[in-house]
Amino acid sequence: MARVTVYDIAEKAGVSTATVSFAFRHPDRVKDDTKARILRISEELGYVPSGNARGLARGRTGTLGIYAFDMLLERPQGSGLEEDRPDASSATVNASVDGDEPDVLAYPLYVDEVLRGFELECWKSGKGILMGAASKKDDHRSVTDIAGCVDGLALMPSGYNDTLPLSMLAKTIPLVMVGVGDEKLPAAYLQCDNASGMRQIVDHLVEVHHINDMAFVGGVNGGACARGTDADDVVSRYDAFKKYLEERGLDSKGALLDDSFATSDEYMVGLCEAIGSGRLPQALVCGTDQTAFGVIRLLEEADVRVPDDVIVTGFDGILAGRLMEPQLTTVRQPMEDMGREAARMLLSRNGEPWEKAERRVFPVRLIVRGSCGCNQKI
């Protein structure tokens, strides 16, 4: 069967070849309905974008790729408690909040640890690495371009809610999706045991600290954390949180206190309202460690003491949680191991895509520290 070309797509879509090219390389220049039609037809015909086709023509490259859609986060803004914070639109890699001190909220530390494991495994196997990053959720061009230069690609697509380009790539090279729960593609999926982590947190708060009023903080319903995107991790943690509250006979109606996320335009508005009204719960269970950092910062600015006035917990177990005061109680997921496994799975395919979805679930463990009142330094 002859390879499908850009001319075939253009003819069936009723557009020019230039429009087809723009749909992949400059999607912002193509009308939404036209772009959707081109991507749908490309999917139906099994069209491989040119960058990937060039890579296939060269044979194996000896290189693996890793790609993150949130490699550089903008600094949080918008809460009434931090009006003097610099505007996020001017944030750069070297941005800081207090002089020379970097803002941990401006860097995706979870990505860093996964990347380290991926790099170590590639180094061990003598493979090269090609890294890519984007902040635009529909950045088709950069994804297809990097896919054309590697034998396999690991993705951390936070906020990337258009699966069509990925579904085409999944037919040509092996893909590993990190932190994604919805198995829509013939690819490998790596995720930690979010339900177990939430059970451990709820059990600890209830049994050790006798907490009966707790709420969740983290993007669940909108923005980059909408259901069906890479923020499946946060969504599944919230779902498990509600489930375990109900199992213990605790009220889950107000379980979601704040639905914002690290780059939200209205960052932590729900939390600020709770602080201002004096209606804070006994404990705030955060969807990620980075969310917990922002929560603790806002509480400190409002003279709310952690853990004396309110307990705060995180999820991920990134290194920065050990550097805080108080140190963050959190659930540790094996991010470096996940990066290593992503590389190993890609290497095992020798450039051949998966025929069906495969899943790996990694165990997690609760790390008890000062932010819950246990005063253990780990």
Q: What is the pLDDT of residues 149-188, one digit of tens each?
A: 899 999 886 555 555 577 778 888 899 999 876 778 899 9
Question: For residues 323 and 64, which has the higher predicted lDDT (pLDDT)?
Answer: 64
Q: Are 365 and 143 within 8 A, CB to CB?
A: no
Q: Write out the CATH class of domain 1-47.
A: mainly alpha
Question: For residues 43 and 108, which has the higher predicted lDDT (pLDDT)?
Answer: 43
Q: Are 232 and 44 within 8 A, CB to CB?
A: no
- Kindly indicate the confidence band of residue 377, based on its pLDDT and cuts at 50, 70 and 90: low
User: Rg of the chain's alpha carbons, rounded to an integer?
Assistant: 22
Examine the pLDDT at 354 and tell me if it is beyond 70: yes
The pLDDT score that the predictor gives to residue 262 is 55
- Kindly indicate the confidence band of residue 280, based on its pLDDT and cuts at 50, 70 and 90: very high
SS (H, E, C) 150-164: CCCEEEECCCCCCCH
The pLDDT score that the predictor gives to residue 248 is 94
The pLDDT score that the predictor gives to residue 109 is 75
User: Which CATH number describes the domain made up of 194-333+365-372?
Assistant: 3.40.50.2300
The pLDDT score that the predictor gives to residue 73 is 47
pLDDT in tens, 232-242: 788 899 999 99
pTM of the model: 0.74
Examine the pLDDT at 206 and tell me if it is beyond 90: yes
Examine the pLDDT at 105 and tell me if it is beyond 90: no
Q: Is 207 exposed, middle or buried (0-12, 13-18, 19+ CB in 10 A)?
A: exposed
The percent helix, strand, coil of the chain (3-state, each to 5) is: 40, 15, 45
pLDDT in tens, 119-160: 999 999 999 998 887 655 555 667 777 887 899 999 886 555
Ramachandran assignment for 14, one of left (phi > 0), alpha (psi -120 to 50 degrees), beta (any other): left
Nearest to 118 by CA among 362, 342, 363, 317: 342
> Other C-beta atoms within 10 Å of 319: how many?
11
Q: Are 123 and 31 within 8 A, CB to CB?
A: no
Q: Taking all residues of the chain, what is their mean pLDDT, rounded to a whole number?
A: 79
Range 90-96, long-range pairs (CB < 8 A, 24+ positions) = none
Question: For residues 251 and 165, which has the higher predicted lDDT (pLDDT)?
Answer: 251
Mean pLDDT of 290-301: 91
The pLDDT score that the predictor gives to residue 100 is 54
Q: φ and ψ at 116, to 5 degrees?
A: -60, -45
1-47 and 194-333+365-372 share one CATH topology?
no
Mean pLDDT of 297-323: 93
Nearest to 378 by CA among 342, 332, 310: 332
- Kindly indicate the confidence band of residue 307, based on its pLDDT and cuts at 50, 70 and 90: very high
Q: What percent of the chain has pLDDT over 90?
A: 39
The pLDDT score that the predictor gives to residue 56 is 46
Domains of the chain, residue spans: 1-47, 194-333+365-372
Helices 17-25 and 140-147 cross at an angle (nearest 10°) of 90
Nearest to 342 by CA among 363, 355, 366, 358: 358
The pLDDT score that the predictor gives to residue 21 is 78
pLDDT in tens, 46-96: 776 655 454 444 457 789 999 886 554 444 443 343 343 334 333 333 444
Q: Are 172 and 150 within 8 A, CB to CB?
A: no
